Each structure stands twice: as C-alpha cells, then as structure tokens.
C-alpha cells in the first residue's frame, strides 16, 4: 500500500509538471512569436485543410471514398512548403502502387484473406524503400483499405486516386498560401548567441589568466564551454539548412516576413574556425593546468599578455553582433553603426598589439615552457587573423601596421613542432 501511495505521488508530481509545461507553452503561443505559436498555427492549418477536403469530397461531391481526401490533406501540412510538395509526391506514388497491388490481388484470388497474403508483403517491401521515407507505410495502408472494403472495380480505384489528389492539392494550398512557414528565427537566435558566448568565454579565460595561477577545474570548465561553442556552430548549420528549405517553393514568405535575412554561410565558416581556435587554446591551458597544478600555465609575463589579447578579442566578438544588428535595422542610424564598427576595429588593434608582445615573449623563452607557450601563441595568432575578417577592411590597414611594427610571426617559424 505504501508503494502504491509513493507511485501515486510520483504520478501526481509528473502530471503537475506536464500541466505546467502545457500551460507555459500555451501562454507563449498566445503572447508572441515563437516555436510554440508556429506549432499551434501548423496544427490549426492541418485541421482546416482536413475540414475543407471533407467538405468538398464528402459533403459536396459525395465521393464513395471521401475519407481519403481529408486523410491526405491532414498529413500534407508539413513544416515547410517544400516538404509538403515532396510528401505529396511520395504519398501519391505509394497510394497508387498499394491500391493497384491490392486490387490485382483481389481480382486474382477473389478472396480477401488470400489477397492480403499476396498484397501486404509486397506493399510492405515496396514501402520500405528509403526514397519514400515515412510515407512508405501508406502503401500497405492503402492496400488494406481496398481489401477490407472489397472495392476492386476500375471506377472505385479511379475515385481513390482522384480523392487522394484532391486532398493533396488542398493540403499544399493551405500550407503554401495561409501563413506559409518560414524558419529563420533559429538562425538569427544562434547567430546572436555565438558572438555573445564566445565573448563571455574569452573574458572568463582572460580574467582567470590575469589572476595568476589557474586551477585545473577552471581550465577544464573553459575547455568544456569551448567545446559547446563548436556544437553551436553545428546547430547553426542545421538551422540554416532548415531555413533555406523553408524558402523553397514558398510563394508567401516575402509578404509574411519582414525580419532581416540572416548572414551568409561564409559567416558560419569564419565562426567555425574561431570556435576551433578557442577550443585549441582552452585545451592547451587545461592540459598545462592538469600536468602541473602548482605552477602557472604560462611563463613570466605571458599570462598578462595573453589576458590582454583575449580581452580585446572578446570585445571584437561582442561588437560583431551589435554591428550586424544595427546594420540590419532600418531605424539604426549610420552614425551609430559607424561608431560600433570603429570600436570593433580599435579592439582589433589592441589585439594585434598584444599579439606582437606575445610573439616577443615567445622568442625570448627557450625553456620547458616552449611547447605550451608555442601552442597558445600559434592559436591566438590564428584567432586574431579570423577575427579580423569580422571587423572588415580597415582604412588604416591595422594588420599591416601591426606586422611592420612587431614583425609578427607564428611559432611554426621557431620550431614549435606544430
């Protein structure tokens, strides 16, 4: 009895969580744009498409197999217009093949059981073809409809095809013309989070190095955050493919959406390299902190120089998002945008100055710190090189000035073993 009471208490707790989550999702759907509202809109569109299909096929046309029209329309209101069109073609092919196989088996045997014995294995094998995806199961389903209702005549088969086409046309029309789905929100969201989280990580590493000795736990936490950033880039690529698919064959996205388009795919490639450099830097620091917890991870003045470099890099990352948003916003003034661009270039100049100083420190060291310092120096140089692409062309040519003043060179030239 006690165990039953505990199980009931756990069930009540789970039910409470679920009810709270459902209520929260409902509030979000009603309060503003978001994935919850998108899901609700698509669900209502699917229901509306099914009702329209039934009204035409069952109520007005009085078709003998009217159920096929709303059944088809219901499943063709997909998450993108392109996917609706693809699903419509897949479903029509498998329904036609399943219907013909079932009708042929029924005419050949004259017995429902024998016809199922022939048709169902064939339609299951046909529906398992990878090109049909999840729509492959409609082949044996269509065969079952034919055999259970015992309708094998050419007139009945023609009606099935026409009703399936009617439902497909209605489902496609509703999805394409009524609030056609456009999935660009995730791209813009991830596009903003990458610079923000990268800036936060760079700032945390800079603050930790500025304090002197780095604890193993802190260095490992930095590395974990850097690895999550690489996952963000992967998520961004997935979201971008989803967004591009939602624009294919979509006749209404220009009328419905007024939000600025996300940056080009080249931006993704740049941030892929940046996050890889961050992961390499934090991995080197984590390895150094784990190998000798009683010693600083970098020698002499190097920690302070790297901290200054990473702070400047953090400013470049943080300003990247604000510059892009101000350029994409029609109300943003040219003066404000220019100020942010100039701030980003100033931060990049500070990063190059710190890079030159770090290179000088590396040249002066020849002891056991060489491998760690070489790796950090090389990765920070690569990081600043990729960050310079975010800042755009500099009228003062900060890159050339920094190279001329400090003679920047990578540790590869000094036998770093990279």
Q: What is the DSSP string of 43-108?
A: HHHHHHHHHHHHIIIIIIS--TTTTHHHHHHHHT--SSHHHHHHHHHHHHHHHHHHHHHHHHHHHH
Can you tell me the distance from the alpha carbon of 385 to that of 143, in angstroms, rounded to the nearest whole number? 62
Asked whether 310 and 206 are in contact (CB, 8 A), the reply is: yes
Can you tell me the distance from the alpha carbon of 41 to that of 43, in angstroms, rounded to the nearest whole number? 5
Can you tell me the distance from the alpha carbon of 85 to that of 177, in angstroms, rounded to the nearest whole number? 13
Can you tell me the distance from the alpha carbon of 241 to that of 185, in angstroms, rounded to the nearest whole number? 12
319: tokens are 């300003």
- Residue recorded with tokens 């590395």: 223
pTM value is 0.74
Asked whether 301 and 365 are in contact (CB, 8 A), the reply is: no
367: tokens are 């002891």
- Give, as one character, the DSSP assignment of residue 412: G
The pLDDT score that the predictor gives to residue 154 is 83
Can you tell me the distance from the alpha carbon of 204 to that of 202, in angstroms, rounded to the nearest whole number? 5
Q: Does residue 292 sit in helix, strand or coil?
A: coil
The pLDDT score that the predictor gives to residue 403 is 43
The pLDDT score that the predictor gives to residue 394 is 54
Can you tell me the distance from the alpha carbon of 44 to that of 251, in angstroms, rounded to the nearest whole number? 20
Beta carbons within 8 Å of 189's beta carbon, 6+ residues apart: none
The pLDDT score that the predictor gives to residue 125 is 95
Can you tell me the distance from the alpha carbon of 22 to that of 25, in angstroms, rounded to the nearest whole number? 5
Residue 371: Cβ within 10 Å count? 15
Can you tell me the distance from the alpha carbon of 128 to that of 78, in angstroms, rounded to the nearest whole number? 21
The pLDDT score that the predictor gives to residue 370 is 65
Pick the closest to residue 99 from 147, 166, 169, 64 (CA basis).
Answer: 147
Beta carbons within 8 Å of 55's beta carbon, 6+ residues apart: none
CA–chain centroid gap for 185, Å, is 10
Beta carbons within 8 Å of 272's beta carbon, 6+ residues apart: 230, 233
Domain boundaries, the chain: 36-177, 185-414
Can you tell me the distance from the alpha carbon of 338 to that of 344, in angstroms, rounded to the nearest whole number? 10
Can you tell me the distance from the alpha carbon of 90 to that of 343, in angstroms, rounded to the nearest whole number? 54
Q: What is the DSSP string of 202-251?
A: HHHHHHHHHTSS--HHHHHHHHHHHHHHHHHHHHHHHHHHHHHHHHTT-T
Can you tell me the distance from the alpha carbon of 292 to that of 216, in angstroms, rounded to the nearest whole number? 9
Can you tell me the distance from the alpha carbon of 382 to that of 278, in angstroms, rounded to the nearest whole number? 10
Q: Where are the beta strands (DSSP E) in 255-378?
A: none
Domain 185-414 of CATH type 3.40.50.1970: no
Q: What is the CA radius of gyration of the chain?
A: 31
Q: Where are the beta strands (DSSP E) in 13-153?
A: none
The pLDDT score that the predictor gives to residue 392 is 62
The pLDDT score that the predictor gives to residue 185 is 82
The pLDDT score that the predictor gives to residue 321 is 58
Can you tell me the distance from the alpha carbon of 298 to that of 283, in angstroms, rounded to the nearest whole number? 13
Can you tell me the distance from the alpha carbon of 400 to that of 136, in angstroms, rounded to the nearest whole number? 60
- Residue recorded with tokens 């998450």: 79
- Residue recorded with tokens 């409902």: 26
One digit per residue, pLDDT tens: the chain, 418 residues?
Answer: 677 777 777 888 888 888 888 888 888 778 877 788 888 999 999 999 999 999 999 999 888 888 889 999 999 999 899 999 999 999 999 999 999 999 999 999 989 999 999 999 999 999 999 899 889 999 999 999 889 888 778 888 898 899 999 999 999 999 999 988 888 888 888 888 899 999 999 999 999 988 767 888 999 999 999 999 999 999 988 888 888 888 888 886 655 545 555 567 788 888 999 999 999 999 999 988 887 666 777 877 888 899 999 999 999 988 875 545 444 444 445 565 677 778 888 888 888 898 888 888 777 765 545 678 888 889 999 999 888 887 665 545 544 444 444 444 443 333 333 3
Can you tell me the distance from the alpha carbon of 132 to that of 138, in angstroms, rounded to the nearest whole number? 10
- Residue recorded with tokens 């996952």: 231
Q: Where are the beta strands (DSSP E) in 118-220?
A: none
The pLDDT score that the predictor gives to residue 183 is 84
Angle at 248 between CA 246 and CA 249, to 5 degrees: 115
The pLDDT score that the predictor gives to residue 188 is 83
């Amino acid at each position: 009895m006690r165990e039953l009471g505990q199980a009931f208490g756990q069930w009540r707790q789970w039910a409470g969580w679920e009810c709270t989550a459902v209520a929260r999702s409902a509030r979000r759907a009603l309060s503003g744009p978001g994935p919850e509202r998108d899901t609700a809109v698509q669900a209502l569109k699917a229901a509306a498409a099914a009702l329209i299909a039934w009204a035409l096929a069952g109520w007005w046309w009085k078709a003998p197999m009217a159920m096929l029209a709303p059944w088809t329309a219901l499943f063709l209101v997909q998450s993108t217009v392109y996917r609706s069109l693809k699903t419509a073609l897949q479903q029509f092919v498998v329904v036609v093949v399943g219907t013909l196989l079932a009708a042929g088996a029924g005419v050949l045997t004259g017995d429902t059981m024998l016809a199922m014995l022939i048709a169902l294995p064939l339609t299951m094998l046909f529906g398992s073809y990878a090109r049909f995806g999840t729509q492959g199961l409609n082949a044996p389903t269509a065969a079952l409809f034919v055999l259970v209702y015992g309708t094998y005549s050419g007139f009945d088969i023609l009606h099935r095809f026409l009703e399936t086409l009617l439902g497909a046309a209605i489902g496609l029309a509703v999805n394409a013309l009524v609030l056609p789905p456009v999935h660009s929100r995730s791209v813009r969201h991830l596009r903003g989070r990458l610079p923000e989280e990268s800036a936060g990580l760079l700032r945390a590493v800079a603050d930790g190095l500025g304090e002197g000795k780095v604890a193993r736990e802190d260095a490992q936490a930095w590395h974990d955050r850097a690895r999550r950033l690489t996952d963000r880039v992967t998520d961004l690529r997935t979201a971008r493919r989803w967004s591009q698919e939602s624009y294919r064959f979509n006749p209404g996205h220009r009328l419905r959406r007024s939000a600025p388009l996300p940056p080009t795919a080249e931006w993704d490639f740049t941030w892929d390299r940046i996050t890889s450099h961050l992961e390499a830097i934090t991995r080197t620091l984590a390895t150094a902190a784990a190998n000798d917890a009683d010693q600083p991870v970098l020698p002499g003045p190097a920690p302070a120089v790297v901290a200054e470099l990473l702070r400047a890099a953090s400013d470049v990352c943080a300003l990247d998002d604000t510059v892009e948003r101000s350029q994409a916003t029609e109300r943003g003034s040219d003066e404000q945008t220019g100020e942010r661009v100039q701030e980003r270039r100033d931060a990049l100049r500070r990063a190059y100055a710190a890079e030159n100083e770090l290179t000088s420190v590396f040249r002066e060291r020849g002891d056991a710190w060489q491998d760690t310092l070489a790796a950090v120096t090389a990765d920070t140089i690569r990081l600043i090189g990729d960050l310079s692409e975010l800042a755009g062309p500099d009228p003062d040519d900060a890159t050339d000035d920094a190279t001329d003043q400090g003679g920047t060179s990578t540790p590869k030239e000094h036998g770093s073993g990279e």
